[in-house]
Structure 1
Amino acid sequence: KSIVKVAANTTQLIELLEQGQVDFYLESPFPTYIINRTGTGKLLLRRWKSGMSEYRGVIFTSKENRINRLEDLRGKMIVFEDPGSTSGYFLPKLLLFEKRFRVAEKPDLSAKVSGGEIGYIFAGSEKNVVKLVREEKVAAGAISNDDYASLDETSKARLSMLAESGSVPRHLVSVRSNLPEAVIKRLKEILLSMHQDDEGQKILRQTDGTTKFDTLPGGEEAFRRKMNDLYHLRGEKK
């Protein structure tokens, strides 16, 4: 019998892995990197979601703002999704760092933003990000490229994309580090073959629109190196 546990955050998931209450988990790249670098988990497979193996973060603005490039965001406020979002925070923020912008978190929309920086707050969801941008309460927002593509035509007509980040795996599967190798091997075999029959496809669709699982190009070491490089750009300790 399988039991599904929902962790409120990465800290709780790490605790569940350490306690042996979770054998494997599904997460986006940023939380996966944070969790697995503690030694509690290790990468197993890539998860395709809604037909996509990779995705990117996009920074966009309202056409009414008359902002045409990232440089126009200096002295203004941008809104991200939440601190645990790969495409709605991690990737777009790294994009700004890579382009030498100074980015500073602010307590709320009324906070002062100096002319040499880009201020940011969190909206809590993709819908709230779009809402704040459309209402011109912020200069720009950031969400995933697939969320942006799925916006209704009315929203798209009022928005303009400013920049797009590099791509990372859409989602990942990791296992508890001390899970027996025989169990890991069998789990891997099952996940890799699920899309090959009707029953497996049905279960995948019910799992938040999963298309299939496959091996991550380059493996865990290549993924770890890429995330380390991104963290270096972000100025955080590895």
Structure 2
Amino acid sequence: MRLFKQLLLIMLLVASPLGQAKPLVLGQISDRPGKDLDELRPMVDYAAAHLTSLGISSGEVRLFDSAEALIAAMQAGEVDWVTETPYTAARLVREAGARPLLRKWKRGQQYYQTLIYTHADSAIREIGDLAGKRIAFEHPESFSSYFVPRLILEQAGLQLTALETIGQAPDTDRVGYLFSRNEKNNALWVHKSLVSAGALNNSDWENPKRVPDALRQDLRIIYRSVQYPRAMELVSPGLALELADGLRKLLLGMAGSGATDILARYEHTTGFAPLQPGDLQLLHDIYENSRSW
């Protein structure tokens, strides 16, 4: 009788939603795993706790060292949900079949723009003056500090070449570029004239923790891009439509649900907004424009 009861219990668990439950996996590219894990964990735990009726048992965070690794994981069904900038989002949509879910507001911003800047004493006044000079982008996966400024320079008729060291000089008809890896280095390199120009988004530019006031007062903006969506939430192509819709509704309602502390820990998020009609075309254009790189 005892064995019969144990078998019956196992059968009931397998047949129930609890027995079929699976973790909700939130993924992101990261070169700061400790910090990013702390920012993402509360959000995925919150979402998992509110989506148990849709077959979610728990929340997990998975971090990847490159866009290629994240794309492969999504293709393999190992990641359900991603929060990324439009550049990586464009690759996920085209290469992994990801489905855009929402726009994300970060630090109160739904949009942001790229700034290209130089030293205040520089003779550089416009984009065309960068021929034969060096520029610092932030990171090869950065939308605002690599994709957008590179596109701006190319659309201005300039050719770019990657430099191996900060002391290397580009050909006189090309713009040489390097990656500073963080915002403060970007500003420091320009301030110390190690490079002739840098590129950052307006949010980082205005943040004294990333660009100290003492540096910013000696720098001068020479170009401002159009505005782009700050970030996007995407889900994997294999995520059930009912679950994706449940996640979308949950995130949209967070700002008014008393969960502002969870939002704030989620990369300083202040809310989410529905996708706009032109968002899919924007992602398509981003992907096509970057394929030759």
Query: Is TM > 0.5 for Structure 1 vs Structure 2?
Result: yes
1:13-28 to structure 2, matched below 5 A, reads 13-28=70-85
Q: Does 1:212 align with 2:257?
A: no
Q: TM-score, normalised by structure 1?
A: 0.92
| Structure 2 unaligned spans of 5+ | 1-57
Q: Hey, what does 1:236 align to over in structure 2?
A: 292
Residues 22/235 of structure 1: CA separation in 2 closer, same or farther (3 Å cut): closer
Higher mean alpha-carbon deviation, 100-109 vs 75-84, is at 100-109
Q: Is the 8 A contact 1:104 1:117 kept in 2?
A: yes
Runs of 4+ displaced beyond 6 Å: none
> What are the superposed Cα offsets for residues 174-198 of structure 1, whole Å, 9 maximum, x if unpaired?
0010111110111111001000022
Is contact 2:87-2:143 (8 Å) kept? yes
Q: Which residue of 150, 163, 187 maps to 2:223?
A: 163
Greater shift after overlay, 143-152 or 75-84?
A: 143-152
Q: Tell whether the 8 Å contact from 2:102 to 2:232 is kept in structure 1 after alignment.
A: yes
Counterpart of 1:87 in structure 2 is: 144
Number of the residue aligned with 2:213: 153
Higher mean C-alpha deviation, range 83-92 or range 12-21: 12-21
Q: Secondary structure at the match of 2:96?
A: coil
Find the residue that maps to 2:95 and give its secondary structure: coil
Q: Do residues 136 (structure 1) and 193 (structure 2) align?
A: yes
Q: Within the alignment, does 1:223 sit opposite 2:282 as a pair? A: no
Gaps of 5+ in 1: none
Residue from 94, 115, 132 that aligns with 1:37: 94
Q: 1:102 to 1:235 in 2, by over 3 A?
A: farther
Identical columns (%): 28
Alpha-carbon separation, structure 2, partners of 1:117 and 1:212: 41
Structure whose CA Rg is larger = 2
* Alignment-mate amino acid for residue 244 of structure 2: I
Aligned match of 1:175: 235
Partner of 2:119: 62
C-alpha RMSD over aligned residues: 1.6
Contact 1:54 1:169 in 2 (8 A): yes
Aligned residues: 233
Structure 1 residue matching 2:125: 3-state secondary structure: coil
Instruction: Classify the secondary structure of the residue corresponding to 1:100.
Output: coil
Any idea what SS the aligned residue of 2:152 has? helix
Per-residue CA deviations over 1:163-216 (Å, capped at 9, x if unaligned) read 012221101000010111110111111001000022x21110111100001112
Cα offset for 1:107? 1.4
Report SS of the residue matched to 1:137. coil
Structure 1 position 226, deviation (Å) = 2.3
Q: Match for 1:185: what amino acid?
A: D
Question: Is 2:247 the partner of 1:190?
Answer: no
Question: 2:287, 2:92 → 1: CA distance?
Answer: 14
1:45 and 1:226 map into 2 onto residues whose CA distance is 14
Q: Distance in 2 between matches of 1:233 and 1:9?
A: 20
TM-score (norm 2): 0.75
Write the distance in 1 (CA, Å) between the matches of 2:157 and 2:83. Answer: 33
Contact 1:94/1:230 (<8 A) preserved:
no
Structure-2 change in CA distance of 1:180 and 1:209 (3 Å): same
Q: Distance in 1 between matches of 2:175 and 2:74?
A: 37
Q: Aligned partners of 1:112 and 1:68: how far apart in 2? A: 20
Aligned to 1:10: 67
**Could you tell me which residue of structure 2 aligns to residue 202 of structure 1?**
261
1:111 deviates by 2.1
Describe the superposition over 1:3-58 as per-residue Cα deviations: whole angstroms up to 9, x where unpaired.
Answer: 11112211111122123221111000001101210133110100000000011111
Q: Distance in 2 between matches of 1:88 and 1:146?
A: 12
